[in-house]
Chain A
Amino acid sequence: MKNRTLTFSIFRYNPATPEIKPHMQSYQLDETTGMTVFVALNRIREEQDPSLMFDFVCRAAICGSCAMLINGKPRLACKTLTRDYGSKITLMPLPVFKLIGDLSVDTGTWFRHLSIKTRAWIHTNKEFDPKALEERMDNATALEIYEPERCIECGCCIAGCATANIREDFLGAAGLNRVARFMVDPRDHRTEQEYFEVVGSDEGVFGCYGLMACDDNCPTQLPLQWQLAFVRRKMAVAGLKR
């Protein structure tokens, strides 16, 4: 089989040199077997253009660093195989997040604020007793917590969400999923009313249109539709009680 030559059309902009306006730049590369966008971008940087900015850490779809728009869709670049695409591939940075340069965006800061806004930690009045056995927990409950906990904060659900694209303060599917994680955790003593303060507004569940772009885009295949419905149900009940 003859190897294809791929053309990558890549968004370029370096905020340190604002005089050079944002533009698209093309690079050509011979495809190799099992090539991912991670492999391709590193080869472009090392062989053709060492100024090209992008982020990878784990290169195994675990750390959530490398989301970008691949032919217009939010995807993890490290687990995107070039063989699933035509010979022309367009790469753009994720929208919504602050641009650092080229394909690199600041998802870290965005998710930091999310954790602070949703107060995403276990709220409890108990003290830790180093001499005591651990509190018991049903294994089924542990797995139920682990399910939403699996979010890798990649931002794909946010980038593809209509509300997040127009409302800067919208928590998005990742934010609501994060809240769901604490709601199902018996160690967290927050009441429904306390959660309502966090997500019972247009910033939270009531800002979501339910079109489910987030669900389709999540590379971890989190059941976001289910999690959103769960939080919405809880909050609707909590709202009635107010």
Chain B
Amino acid sequence: MSSYHTHITDVLIIGAGLAGERAAIEASSHGLNTIILSLVPPRRSHSTAAQGGMQASLGNSAMGKGDSSDIHFADTVKGSDWGCEQDVARLFCETVPIAVRQMAYWGVPWSRVVAGTKTLPDGRVIEDTKDKEGLITGRNFGGTAKWRTCYTADGTGHTMQYTIDSIVVKLGITVHDRMEAISLIHDGEKCLGVVARCLRTGKLNVYIAKATVIATGGYGRLYGASTNAVICEGTGMALAIDTGQVPLGNMEAVQFHPTGMVPVWILITEGARGDGGYLLDKNHHRFMPDYEPAKKDLASRDVVSRRMIQHMRKGLGVDSPYGPYLWLDIRHLGAKHINTNLREIANICRNFAGVDPIKELIPVRPTQHYSMGGVRTNIDGAAYGLKGLFAVGEASCWDLHGFNRLGGNSLAETVVMGMVVGKRIAEYALGATLEYSYALVEEKAKQQQERIDSLIACRHGREDVFKIRQEMEETLMDYVGIFRTGPALQTAVDRLQVLHERSKHIGLRTSGVGANPEITAALRLPGMIRLALTISYGALQRTESRGSHAREDFPKRDDANWLKRTLAYWPDGAVLPELKYEPVTITELPPGDRGYGESSASSKN
């Protein structure tokens, strides 16, 4: 039996975070019928949790003077360790100032320049000039030559998401929340829409569209310790790779944020260090300047995370039942600054660790944070392998971030990509006709109904979904972390393959009726394990170190052999991903030294 609702539209957007909603606004503004699907109400999307800010080279603040899209471009390419597409980075850097101003026009209350002199925590005196007063200001973030991270006090993601969503409401764009896409419908050439499961009732729905857009965010929750929201399970990427035709790019590029709070792994934003906070070891020694004399605590995230682990390996971390950790000190910033500009952090410290950061140190440790990899698209946001399929935001590999994303570049990417790719989606949909085979849709819906029925009836076994998921999380944590080695990665691949097999034998312990959470988890898990395998296997094959991918057995960047992007495919019935590679587009800035980190460019073989 398969009974389901069918919805037909021009553009279908899977995901109501910043990227998805921004693209939807663009499509709708072109007069196209647009439907957005989301696991949760739009304003609860993970984008809301971003606190720090978004990069744009406005050059308004004292420390941002002289900034330009050229400098932003160079920072981004260096940050990516030359793994990004330089034509994409160029397009991005030229567009961000427009995007941030458009957000201001729509209602984001960006923090503004206040004229006058200020003394920085390190004693430097700076002056914001009268001619810039009232323009959008910027704060300091890691890996940037200028202060260019635009922010709204301590809630940048929140105000951006609420503002974008207010425009979605204004335009009357249809949103189906608590509706999870569980499979793409395609005929081998073209994507035709999705089969979705309603998270209120458990019923299947079919969406047919001229253009389908994956805007589902990252996969942080594959790891046991992640700063990501609990819904960041990479489902959209799994939908794409499960077609067998759409590749995922650079899945081995996983970002760890230096300051996840121990032991709940809630993020302490980079803004804390940008505003003058620094790291201390167990002897209260500020150690980052010993490793990184130039950038100190504000080198790029991959570098700071590695230095922290290195330092803890010397026995200089604070011991705890959750493993060693380090301290983040912001006390010297003072109560006034902490209670306004860093209020959200102060609340998080108080509520979730019982720490008052005005008087006490914050326990931190590098924690999984961002997915550089994702659905590989061209510069127009069109996915490789299927017509009519696009991807935007963290779920995509456009590839702006290469092997390391700069803080503040992903909020910026969501709105820039939503704007730029949204236009391409609209152009595509305006030129496309809706043709699909009814039998094909029926068959795809039936397949999903059968998966559901089999899980409920325990037709293939009685494996416990939560146990397998926990083993997957632990495997990635233990063997595919910040520092990687061949043998550890091989262990991860072996274990994950076993888990993948076991996941085919999951059976429910409950009835699976209605909004049942066990079946929701069971439907997601096999795809999640395939993602975990593409991460581990890609990392095993890449015998060099680049950005966030740090191989202890291959500590140098190897441009001769590895200046290329991994493309992972999952052919039907495969037990491992099939890896292909493509060259990285270099238009302006040839590979060189980043100016921080472990001098990665020294390999000239």
Contacts and interface: CB of A to CB of B under 8 A. Distances in A.
Q: Tell whether A pairs with B.
A: yes
Interface in B165-208: 165-167, 169-170, 175, 177-178, 200-202
A75 to B, nearest CB: 12
A134 B113 contact: no
Contact of A108 (B41, B98, B112, B514): B41
A137 to B, nearest CB: 5
B514 A185 contact: no
Given A58-B49, A137-B134, A101 B111 contact: no
Given A50-B508, A59-B230, A135-B104, A17 B513 contact: yes
Contacts, number: 190
A61 B516 contact: no
B356 interface: no
B169 A53 contact: no
A16 B202 contact: yes
B117 interface: no
Interface string B263-287: 1101100000000000000000000
Contacts of A185: 107, 109
Given A58-B229, A59-B230, A50 B152 contact: no
Contacts of B229: 57-59, 63
A120 B106 CA distance: 12
Contacts of B423: none
Interface residues of B, number: 73
A152 B158 CA distance: 8
Contacts of A119: 170
Contacts of B340: 143
Contact of B466 (A34, A50, A65): A50
A175 to B, nearest CB: 14
Contact of B510 (A50, A134, A141): A50
B44 A51 contact: no
Contacts of B158: 62, 149-150, 152
Q: How large is the interface on A (under 10, 10 to 19, 20 to 34, 35 or more residues)?
A: 35 or more
Interface string B101-135: 11011110111111000000000000000000111
Contacts of A141: 109
Contact of B201 (A16, A50, A107): A16
Among A56, A126, A137, A145, chain B packs the most CB atoms within 10 A around the CB of: A137
Interface stretch (B85-93, B344-352, B401-409): B344-352
A82 to B, nearest CB: 13
Interface string B144-159: 0000000011010011
Interface in A38-78: 45-46, 49-53, 55-65
B477 interface: no
B231 interface: yes
Contact of B517 (A16, A45, A63, A106): A45
Given A58-B48, A136-B112, A104 B107 contact: no
A57 B231 contact: yes
A79 interface: yes
B517 A133 contact: no
Interface string B536-572: 0000000000000000000000000000000000000
B509 interface: yes
B166 A121 contact: yes
A188 B109 CA distance: 12
Interface stretch (A22-30, A109-117, A191-199): A109-117
Interface of B: 40-41, 43-46, 48-49, 98, 100-102, 104-107, 109-114, 133-137, 152-153, 155, 158-159, 162, 165-167, 169-170, 175, 177-178, 200-202, 229-231, 263-264, 266-267, 340, 344, 347-348, 351-354, 465-466, 470, 508-511, 513-518, 521
20 contacts: A14-B513, A14-B514, A16-B202, A34-B353, A50-B509, A50-B517, A51-B510, A57-B229, A60-B49, A62-B344, A63-B229, A100-B515, A108-B44, A112-B169, A134-B104, A136-B112, A139-B112, A143-B340, A146-B109, A149-B162
Given A65-B44, A104-B515, A136-B134, 5 more contacts: A17-B513, A50-B516, A53-B517, A58-B230, A153-B43
